[in-house]
Amino acid sequence: MLDFALPGKMYTEEVSRVQKKKQRYYNAGGNSHNSYEVVTPKHQFSVAEDIAKSAKGKSMSYTVSLLFQEVNSYSILPSQDRSIYSFRLVSGFVLPLLLLLAIGIKFRFKKDLSILLFVLQLLVVGNFIWLLFW
């Protein structure tokens, strides 16, 4: 949570290119979707479709976390509207907050939340390994 909450280092760079990738899977929802990545001289990160379409040839301002070097938020200049990458929000803030909340409930109200705590701990450890090695 600390890595997500600290402001991190801010970069302002020109967008080199926008990559569109077709992600295939097999289910009733259409079997595929498009994902978009913005590539700058120093970083490459996922963005929403509307941001990707309007970012071509423009400058972007984005912040990179201090500990794990992940992009926390970004905006297209000159706009001041900042967007937060949703996976980063969930993995860096929501998941650890849920774990702390469950631990607090367990000790405050003496509830048996052992299975929930085990699952949340596995998710946090898996997320930590993901951040370290990918």
pLDDT (tens digit per residue) in 23-53: 888 877 778 889 999 999 999 999 999 999 9
pLDDT (tens digit per residue) in 97-131: 999 999 999 999 998 999 999 999 999 999 999 98
Contact at 8 Å (CB) between 68 and 1?
no
CATH class of 1-84: mainly beta
31-50 burial string, b = 16+ CB within 10 Å, else e?
eeeeebebebeebebbbeee
Percent of the chain exceeding pLDDT 70 equals 99
Which of 63, 62, 60, 64 is CA-nearest to residue 76? 60
- Only one residue has tokens 């297209």, namely 76
The more confidently predicted of residues 62 and 86 is 62
User: What is the domain partition of the chain in residue ranges?
Assistant: 1-84, 88-133
State how far the Cα of 103 lies from the Cα of 120, in Å rounded to an integer. Answer: 10
